[in-house]
Amino acid sequence: MFGIDQLHPIFVHFPVAFLTLAAGTALWWVLTGGSVARQMTALLLTAGFLGAVAAYYTGDDMADAFASRPAVKLLVERHEDFALYTLVASAAAAGAFIAACLAQRSADRKGFDGPNRRLSVRLLCAALALLTAALVGYTGHLGGLMTWSTELNRPAAAAPAPATGR
């Protein structure tokens, strides 16, 4: 009854949601230095990275299925490039937050100050999360243009004739 030929439109929602939320919780960590915010951000970034992997590897099938659309011809390479940048940035951000979680655990055991008390560490980690959110937003914007832009998907023959100036 309901067939889903392409998995890419399903998987893209996970990195968009998780990586965007992670930017918010990263800012929360910058402001409060609390361990809950740090751990939540690490979890969201990891889930977002895994969703980005799934979205990235299902994107080729989607591009092949819609290769004849003018917008896809125009934007698919840029979309793929920014999807890869998003994938790399989300891996780096998740790694940074996981490292911060491990460093805090080690610092707590040894009685030292960990990343929760160091604003510079929190700012660096948050910058990675914000960069990742910006990249996933732009990648999604390009995907949305390929999917929904009536202007870009209009065949060249159907485009309105230019005004002659009379």
Question: Does residue 19 sit within a domain?
Answer: yes
pLDDT in tens, 7-44: 999 999 999 999 999 999 999 999 999 999 999 999 99
| Residue 164 confidence (pLDDT) | 63
pLDDT in tens, 53-83: 999 999 999 898 888 888 888 899 999 999 9
* pLDDT value at 1 more than 80: no
Question: Does residue 156 sit within a domain?
Answer: no
pLDDT in tens, 110-124: 655 677 778 888 999
Question: Does residue 100 sit within a domain?
Answer: yes
- Largest Cα span, the chain: 82
- pLDDT band of residue 51 (cuts 50, 70, 90) is very high
Question: Does residue 66 sit within a domain?
Answer: yes
Give me the domain span that covers residue 128: 8-151
pLDDT in tens, 84-94: 999 999 999 99
Q: The pTM is what?
A: 0.85
Question: Does residue 158 sit within a domain?
Answer: no
Task: Provide the percentage of residues in the chain whose pLDDT is more than 70.
Answer: 86
Domain count, the chain: 1
* Dihedral, CA of residue 13, residue 19, residue 20 and residue 23, to nearest 10: 170
Cβ atoms of 129 and 97 closer than 8 Å = yes
Question: Does residue 136 sit within a domain?
Answer: yes
**CA 64 – CA 137 distance, rounded (Å):** 23
- pLDDT band of residue 137 (cuts 50, 70, 90) is very high
Short-list 67, 73, 66, 61, CA closest to 152? 73
Question: Does residue 104 sit within a domain?
Answer: yes
Short-list 10, 76, 119, CA closest to 2? 10
Question: Does residue 128 sit within a domain?
Answer: yes
| Residue 158 confidence (pLDDT) | 54
